Structure 1
């Protein structure tokens, strides 16, 4: 039987096509091993990108919520920390005020009033905290600092109580400064918004809120207590009897206010717990969607690596054969 052989040109073309195919396979497998994903996604989804697009859209949504949750968590932590600092000052100064009012001499009264003034400044500073460029207690007006400084508020109160000699009248005037509509606190003390901060979105169905503002009645009460105690150190306020009355009133109010601050902190703690709960839920969903996507687009790394090694061997063999054929000459057959 007569054999049919390829001519030199046909052999060359066949060899070139084989080498090109091997190179293409090598490039594809190298990409798959490096990326862990299939190079031909269209083939992987059989031309139907609907399920994959839906998964990727869900992952993008969850990623945006993850960023929102991170920002919200930082914000709530700032609120909790600030309220914690305020609570520490209240619990520290209230007993001292009552003790000084009962047993203190003139020096103790002055020292206690000065301590109250310094703590008033610290409390206002804590409530004026900004996190990520946003004020914590200004409601929706997060670009505004919520409270005037303690010095500015005390100076404004001193204007209202100027000329008053009866300590009860002074206390009434301070109450009016903080509580009256259009009073000093509303016109210059509080610089935030009357509207609470909008809810934070945590998922498609979950939100949390931070409605505490620096004009909250509980916060006004504690500011009022610190102001009364600080004013007790003013030289024109009256004698030791007036000082003791102011310190006692301030101490009693701050003491009764501790429960309200604890309630505010518990409210924030509830939001923090909700954030953590939704974060865990979103994390589980992200894991599930990522696994589903991996089933579609990921390659078996072990199998791909084995194929890559095999393809490299094929390419090396093709080059070896080509090199040997290129060295053939007539003298080798004579």
Structure 2
């Protein structure tokens, strides 16, 4: 007669419980083999688990700040490119214009005006630059463009030229349009917000402001000079047209120089952010190394444990299979 005893429900249940427990431990071991890290920190580290959790939070905080600084650095870098593009060739055009006026060379004046219109297009496009869905020159209204289109500006300047009886009136009206807070530039052309873009925190309590706005004085002077040249070239009938052309040429040169100061301001903030990103990356690396020392699982130990548990599972499944095949007929055979 077979020596097996008839299995009881209790024995079968205990075996299943043991298998479930072994499976759970095997899954934990698999996770540790893959991640190289202790799966159950509380059970493994005991009272030191709090220190590990604080380290993990510190790493997360540094990584978040680093990511924020990296995004801000990207915005500053793109803003620098846009600022450079906004004045590209403008100083040369202004110099050529003044030379052409001195020679009374209408053809060269016309060429300068054509170049100025192209540069006006490029400048407005530059100040409407967006990065990661944010307008870079709209101040705190980051969801709107910085400036209206070129034709809107030229239409307004053309109306000023047409209405002014003399050069003094025209210049006074241009001053009001571009420099008065209630003037046409602020109401019709600048579309951004009154405040500056939000500052970025690059370390605990250290905030950096990196933005420029499309209604800053150098920007307005640049757009004024370019648009004035374009409109002044349209008609010989404007009062004292030569004076308007001369002021436009001199203004283009001066505005190009003033824009260098804006670029320098953004560049200074950019340098601070480059340093902050490097510092935060180094800090995250150091914290990560400490965290790994405390929470790492030896890969050979984890693999050995997994192999042992899998062997136990195979043995348990074999026993279960044999038990499940027992019957009263087998028992009495």
- Normalising to structure 1: TM-score of the pair? 0.81
Report what 1:138 is aligned to: 138
Higher relative contact order (CA 8 A, sep 6+): 2
How much has 1:82 moved relative to structure 2?
1.0
Report what 2:199 is aligned to: 199
Report what 1:332 is aligned to: none
SS of the counterpart of 1:201? strand
Structure 2 gaps, min length 5: 326-333
Distance in 2, matches of 1:106 and 1:293, equals: 73
Q: How does 1:146-295 map to 2 (within 5 A)?
A: 146-235=146-235, 237-238=237-238, 242-295=240-293
Report what 1:3 is aligned to: none
CA contact (8 A) 2:76 2:211 kept: no
Q: How does 1:69-108 map to 2 (within 5 A)?
A: 69-108=69-108
CA contact (8 A) 1:232 1:246 kept: yes
Distance in 1, matches of 2:44 and 2:227, equals: 71
SS of the counterpart of 1:88? coil
Structure 1 gaps, min length 5: 1-6, 327-334
Report what 2:51 is aligned to: 51
CA deviation map 1:127-170 (0-9, x unaligned)? 12222222211211122222222221221122233243534543
Structure 1 residues 39 and 152 mapped into 2: Cα distance closer, same or farther (>3 Å)?
closer
Structure 1 residues 316 and 180 mapped into 2: Cα distance closer, same or farther (>3 Å)?
closer
Distance in 2, matches of 1:263 and 1:276, equals: 20
Distance in 1, matches of 2:213 and 2:24, equals: 65
More deviation, 313-322/280-289: 313-322
How much has 1:25 moved relative to structure 2?
5.5
SS of the counterpart of 1:29? helix
Distance in 2, matches of 1:74 and 1:320, equals: 61
Distance in 2, matches of 1:27 and 1:111, equals: 76
Aligned residues: 318
How much has 1:306 moved relative to structure 2?
3.9
Structure 1 residues 168 and 30 mapped into 2: Cα distance closer, same or farther (>3 Å)?
same
More deviation, 216-225/245-254: 245-254
